[in-house]
Structure 1
Amino acid sequence: MDGPTRVCCPDRVIPPVLEAVITGVWRPNRQIDNSSPTFADAGFNPGGRFQWRVRARSGATAEPYSAPVAGTTRAPWGDPAVPGENLRTQWETTLAAQYTSDVNEYAYTAAVDELSDRVRVTEIGRTALGRPINMFVIGYPTPPATPAAVAATSPLMVNCNVHGNEPGDREACLIMARQLAFSNDPRTLDLLAHTTVLIVPTINGDGRAANTRGNSTGQDLNRDYSLIRQPETFALVRMLRDYRPVAGYDGHEFGNSSAGDLPMLPPRHQNVAQPIFDESQDMIEGHMYTQGAKDGWWPCPYGCNGGGNVGLSEETILRNTLGLKNVVNSLLELRSAGGATRPDEGNTANNRRRKAYSALWTFNQFLDYHRASLKEITSARAGGITFQVSNTGRIVFRGSRPIAAYPSPHAGEAPPPLDAPREDQILTDVPCAYRLTEEQYHGERTDGPAGQRTTVAQRLAAHGWKVVTVAGRYLVPLAQPERGLIPLLLDGQAVEKLVDAERVYPTVTGRHTGPLVVSGVTCLRDATVAGPVRVRPGGTLVATGSSITGPVDATGAAGVFLTDSTVTGPVRVAQGTGPVVVVDTKVTGPVEVSDNRGEAPLVAANTVTGPLRCGGNSPAPVDLGLGNSVLGPKSGQCASL
């Protein structure tokens, strides 16, 4: 196919021309349906004229050209006469000659916030040099008022610019924020009435201002989302804890001229729960490949042809961190380099337009996928959380799930390389918990920018992990939703750890007959207890995959973790001073969670034959969107769980 690129300003109409012909090659592996070839191009100025013609090739033989087709590209979104809609970024007004500066971004963001009731812009943190990290919170008719209220809408998130010298996604995000803020088309209103969209345009403002990959310290932030040594990554992870998006996209650029337009990849780390990996793959291969074939874009696995040793299992990378946090998600790598499949890629502005507008297509498809597949997304999230809290299966410190290649020609014919874990990267004898010393937990760190360093205690809190204080030490049980990530930061065998914490193994397995009294730390795994269980004040019970015949009573406990278990008898957890986690447990009898202090009790995905009563807890219990099945009344703080 070929055509001219003589296009000009959106307000000038010029006729098609046949000078400066440029050529692009349509490859059969760019889409999954070769019976209806399509090709999208976004290298033209919005509102400008274009002309195309095509011809087929069979080997070295070229068929005659088709008759030329000419037209006008879409104008920039938004009526220039309507306040709000008429906002434009610096990138748009300069026709991609300049990227949007930080100052222009702040002014544009503030204007969108001021002019749209659907938008609230919140500052989630600051960069190492003090630049604000803003997030658009967008809903209809107005966004929910608090992070917890946003979380209740099963929100989705786009992280747009972690590498400062990869700005294409950021420009797409700023345009999409305007579209969502002011568009009145039925699709937009329906979408925003059913969820909340979270857009973080620039997490790495210092790197963007300097046009560098890393932040001002030189740290690659996409190698820090688990360790959160930098203020930028710390801020984003803390936001994930509070707003709890169920799906996400992470924007990048990739310099491989042989790749497709839009390399994508799911969370591959083997500790990611199978349902999260599967749904992420379905989003890419089931939705993006299909829609790309219809609309003319070329999604493919990250790496694509000749992509090299990329797309592996580092938990420090956001797509893997998100997967380990039970978020369905994908990487997006805009192809930053030109190539034979793209006309006039040597023209810098055309290349920039193609990148940004292909990202805009992807993010809008992500919104549509979320709207159409929310039931499947939340089901995958529920499956991921219940799997993780059960603390079953091995721990892999580094190693990726394989992605199968499709028979050529196909968009998925060239997946990333295998990344199987080595023997020394696998832990089969998995502990019940990790125990940290005072120095490990609260001690001063040397990693991170001077004057902005955080302790392990602060980082685990930002991740949202449950920690029990026991006799001057700190216990981190694995029976919680981010179990797959915990050992990667706390185990001495881990590749990039924070500390070498002590492994704590189960104390009760097999059969126990008679009463069980817990005064210190007791870990039950696959145990059968025929008798009552009593947790004394200051004691900690961690029970996974166990069966208890008799009441469970914990009054004044330091911590209670009851997951993937069955209890025949009443369960009462009251006046606790530490974490309470009751998840995916079958209880025949009443359940009471009352007057606990410290953290919000997690009461989720349980089956209760009897009443569920909660009251006096501060904060109130939560279920992370995993409701409880209760054959009896639900009352007090658990009435909606």
Structure 2
Amino acid sequence: MNHRRSTVIAISALLAATFAPVVTSTSAFAAPLPAFAAAEPNQVTDLTVSQADGFATVAWTPVPGAADYQIERTAVDAANAPTGTPTVVGVWRPNRQINNETPTFADAGFNPGTRFQWRVRARIGTAEQPYSSPVFDTTKAPWGDPAVAGQNLRTQWETTQAAQYTSDANEYAYTAAVDQLSERVRVVEIGRTVQNRPINMLVIGYPTPPATPAAVAATSPLAVNCNVHGNEPGDREACLIMARQLAFSNDARTLGLLKNTTVLIVPTINGDGRAANTRGNTTGQDLNRDYSLIRQPETAAYVRMLRDYRPVAGYDGHEYGNNQAGDLPMLPPRHQNVAQQIFDESLDMIENHMYVEGAKDGWWACPYGCANGSGVGLSEETILRNTLGLKNTVNSLLELRSSGGATRPDEGNTANNRRRKTFSALWTFNQFMDYHHNQLSDIKKARGEAIEFQAGNNGRIVFRGSRVVPLHPAPHPGEAGPREDLPTPDMILDNAPCAYKLTEAQYNGARTDGPNDVGATVAERIAAHGWKVVKVADGYVVPLAQPERGLIPLLLDEQGEEEWVSGERVYPTLTGRHNGPLTISGFACLSGATVNGPVNLRPGATLVATNTTISGPVNAANAAGVFFGDSSVRGPLQVANTNGPVTVIGTNVSGPVNLVNNTNGAAPYFAGNSVSGPLNCAGNSTAPTNLEVRNVVNGPRAGQCSTL
């Protein structure tokens, strides 16, 4: 995006000094090239090779009785004369994909733009059968025309042909150049590391990215977190290449995607760890065990970004040391407090999209833990995969298999290994964008239903324990799924409280669990997560009738495995039937209640109502807080001059709704409701938001609620 910064970058000098010139070549073939028919018994037939970014899909007709197949690649010149030694670069096994009747293998690791011969042979038992006839083709050059500004940008990883990873200085220069040369891109700093490195995010949209976080949130964005463990940089390199493609591609797919959403890419949340090539940050903290706790500035920055930009879907990039696993182990959010709708949609993305498309293109996507990995992929809420799920975001973990193993035997060469990892990640992130584009209505529906479910404070609380990920129906990719990790009885609270109350010391007291023994207060961390809090005479109350109900108890209950504080459980004050008017003083919690009469809140009072029916008007004037979740009001709802939080989610109102002159500062939530009458919002210090969950209003919408 063309705008000036305090640090001026001379693009011409940057291109000359930082980015080496690129020589490109193109394939002479527009379609997969076939081999000849079989000339010998058990010879592979119908071999085809098709090119994509950084890999070639090799496909063939199966040989009856074959146990596996070997894929051979040989470097050749323009006349197809060999210039290198024939090398077995891949082994296809039946557990690689879900549709064994059409075997494919994604051959990767080569330097893009080179020309090869491919052959495939079957093995019956251990007996090697004849090779297929050869297929010749030139692989795709790195994306981007070297003669076109912007497209000709290259990372340090690309210019050194994977001999070096991209340094932090090169990343900053590269992303600044992408920003400067493309109207579609804005680079924003979302925070700083312990050692004061910037944590940048690329905000990408068409024709330009939305101007504010709230405007981005309105586009139902998707987010990719590329490098949380500093010694796992393969995904980061893919993200930098993908950013260039999104910034400068003019194909219908890219433009169609960016016209309908915004892509958020955080290349390096752990810049200190990347610079030192360590898993943790400079304090030694594994940041992927801190996203709920946010003890570190890096994770706090990412969580604040989630609060403000509200991505509806996400991917989290890693590398995995088990060389027996698939190319691309994946896993949905499994914590049992994650709403069923989010778990189901995340699993659908993995099994019904990634597995299917992986089988077409030759990548081995499988569940994390699919081979000798039963101790991974568990329920810790501190892991981003689970934190995102608890924030009602459809998402998956991505683990790039860090070494080739038996199925990719040519990865003793470091550059080959690095290229395979990065281009497999690039494939995954592109598939993720396609899924988001094609299934956005389903993603939004799942998210909306999850928010309404959580705001209703429904169901038990599980402090630790995972949902079961059943094996995909045979033939399934991999031998096993992740461990069950079911909750033990001491990790279950069947009788969920209405809220948690914190003392002044718990809420605002100093903490020592951050860098240099200085931690953010609980108040600051709650604000980073975006939770609503009510100030009461003797402390602070955090109701569960809000979208992140599944996460709140894990951090505020003494039963939590890694809680911040042991808050006091506050249980409902009314659960049965009340006939006649109800006047609220102080703090009142209605759960599963029926009130036959009007409800009035006195000044300074707080009402939390979940799964409750009120037959009469509700009037809250000068209240401290108002929360409705999964409830019904048979009459008008008036909330005015409240100096605390206002949240109305998943509630039916048979009458007009007025939200007027509320001054808490944070936006009132009005989401997923049904209103039989007009909806009017005016004079609120911050305009109400529907969290991108549409309301049904049978009447005019006015003022600050005109678009809700």
Q: Provide the residue aligned with 1:204 in structure 2.
A: 270
Decide which of 364, 374, 381 is 1:308's aligned counterpart: 374
Give, in whole Å, the separation in 1 of the partners of 2:90 and 2:680.
66
Give, in whole Å, the separation in 2 of the partners of 1:258 and 1:579.
51
Q: Provide the residue aligned with 2:611 in structure 1.
A: 545
Once the two structures are TM-superposed, the CA of residue 6 in structure 1 deviates from its matched residue by 5.0
Once the two structures are TM-superposed, the CA of residue 410 in structure 1 deviates from its matched residue by 1.8
Once the two structures are TM-superposed, the CA of residue 308 in structure 1 deviates from its matched residue by 3.1
Q: Provide the residue aligned with 1:3 in structure 2.
A: 72
Q: Is the 8 A contact 1:124 1:133 kept in 2?
A: yes
Q: Provide the residue aligned with 2:703 in structure 1.
A: 636
For 1:610, the aligned partner's letter is G
Decide which of 252, 255, 261 is 2:321's aligned counterpart: 255
Secondary structure of 1:312 counterpart? coil
Once the two structures are TM-superposed, the CA of residue 235 in structure 1 deviates from its matched residue by 0.1
Give, in whole Å, the separation in 2 of the partners of 1:213 and 1:313.
20
| Structure 1 moving runs of 4+ over 6 Å | none
Aligned: 1:616 with 2:616? no
Q: Provide the residue aligned with 1:142 in structure 2.
A: 208
- Aligned CA RMSD, in angstroms, stands at 1.4
Give the TM-score of the pair, scaled to structure 2: 0.89
Q: Provide the residue aligned with 2:640 in structure 1.
A: 574
Give, in whole Å, the separation in 1 of the partners of 2:348 and 2:84.
43
For 1:488, the aligned partner's letter is L
For 2:571, the aligned partner's letter is Y
Q: Is the 8 A contact 1:326 1:482 kept in 2?
A: yes
Q: Provide the residue aligned with 1:595 in structure 2.
A: 661
Q: Is the 8 A contact 2:512 2:518 kept in 1?
A: no
Give, in whole Å, the separation in 2 of the partners of 1:6 and 1:222.
41
For 1:196, the aligned partner's letter is T
Give, in whole Å, the separation in 1 of the partners of 2:393 and 2:79.
46
Give, in whole Å, the separation in 2 of the partners of 1:180 and 1:511.
57
Q: Is the 8 A contact 2:576 2:594 kept in 1?
A: yes
Q: Provide the residue aligned with 1:373 in structure 2.
A: 439
Give, in whole Å, the separation in 1 of the partners of 2:510 and 2:561.
21
Once the two structures are TM-superposed, the CA of residue 103 in structure 1 deviates from its matched residue by 0.6
Q: Provide the residue aligned with 1:627 in structure 2.
A: 694
For 1:278, the aligned partner's letter is D
- Counterparts of 1:24-423 in structure 2, within 5 Å, are 24-411=90-477, 413-423=479-489
Q: Is the 8 A contact 1:127 1:206 kept in 2?
A: yes
Q: Is the 8 A contact 1:580 1:602 kept in 2?
A: yes
Q: Provide the residue aligned with 2:584 in structure 1.
A: 518
Give the TM-score of the pair, scaled to structure 1: 0.98
Runs (5+) with no aligned partner, structure 1: none
Secondary structure of 2:171 counterpart? helix
Aligned: 1:531 with 2:597? yes
Q: Is the 8 A contact 2:99 2:475 kept in 1?
A: no
Q: Deviations over 1:408-464 (max 9, x none)?
A: 432155210111000000001110000000000000001011276211000000000
Once the two structures are TM-superposed, the CA of residue 41 in structure 1 deviates from its matched residue by 1.4
Give, in whole Å, the separation in 1 of the partners of 2:359 and 2:474.
15
Give, in whole Å, the separation in 1 of the partners of 2:464 and 2:117.
50
Decide which of 531, 549, 561 is 1:483's aligned counterpart: 549
Once the two structures are TM-superposed, the CA of residue 472 in structure 1 deviates from its matched residue by 4.0
Q: Deviations over 1:38-97 (max 9, x none)?
A: 111121001012222111122122221111222211100000000000000000000000
Give, in whole Å, the separation in 1 of the partners of 2:200 and 2:688.
29
Q: Is the 8 A contact 2:332 2:396 kept in 1?
A: yes
Q: Provide the residue aligned with 2:516 in structure 1.
A: 450
Give, in whole Å, the separation in 2 of the partners of 1:14 and 1:242.
55
Q: Is the 8 A contact 2:75 2:84 kept in 1?
A: no
Give, in whole Å, the separation in 1 of the partners of 2:485 and 2:624.
41
Q: Deviations over 1:366-410 (max 9, x none)?
A: 010000000000000001100000001100000000011135432
Give, in whole Å, the separation in 2 of the partners of 1:601 and 1:16.
68
Once the two structures are TM-superposed, the CA of residue 568 in structure 1 deviates from its matched residue by 1.2
Q: Deviations over 1:219-259 (max 9, x none)?
A: 00000000000000000000000000000000000011111
Q: Deviations over 1:103-132 (max 9, x none)?
A: 110110110010000000000000000000
Give, in whole Å, the separation in 2 of the partners of 1:406 and 1:137.
35
For 1:557, the aligned partner's letter is A
For 2:670, the aligned partner's letter is V
Q: Provide the residue aligned with 1:606 in structure 2.
A: 673
Once the two structures are TM-superposed, the CA of residue 7 in structure 1 deviates from its matched residue by 8.3
Secondary structure of 1:257 counterpart? coil
Q: Is the 8 A contact 1:518 1:541 kept in 2?
A: yes
Once the two structures are TM-superposed, the CA of residue 274 in structure 1 deviates from its matched residue by 0.3
Runs (5+) with no aligned partner, structure 2: 1-69
Give, in whole Å, the separation in 1 of the partners of 2:158 and 2:126.
41
Instruction: Summarize the Cα distance change of 1:393–1:378 in structure 2 as closer, same or farther, 3 Å threshold.
Output: same
Give, in whole Å, the separation in 1 of the partners of 2:572 and 2:314.
36
Once the two structures are TM-superposed, the CA of residue 3 in structure 1 deviates from its matched residue by 2.8
How many pairs were matched up?
638
Question: Bigger shift: 581-590 or 130-139?
Answer: 581-590
Q: Provide the residue aligned with 2:575 in structure 1.
A: 509
Once the two structures are TM-superposed, the CA of residue 13 in structure 1 deviates from its matched residue by 9.5
Instruction: Summarize the Cα distance change of 1:7–1:69 in structure 2 as closer, same or farther, 3 Å threshold.
Output: closer
Give, in whole Å, the separation in 1 of the partners of 2:316 and 2:445.
22
Give, in whole Å, the separation in 1 of the partners of 2:522 and 2:469.
34
Give, in whole Å, the separation in 1 of the partners of 2:73 and 2:232.
28
For 2:327, the aligned partner's letter is D
Instruction: Summarize the Cα distance change of 1:386–1:13 in structure 2 as closer, same or farther, 3 Å threshold.
Output: farther
For 2:349, the aligned partner's letter is M
Give, in whole Å, the separation in 2 of the partners of 1:511 and 1:41.
67
Secondary structure of 2:199 counterpart? strand
For 1:3, the aligned partner's letter is E
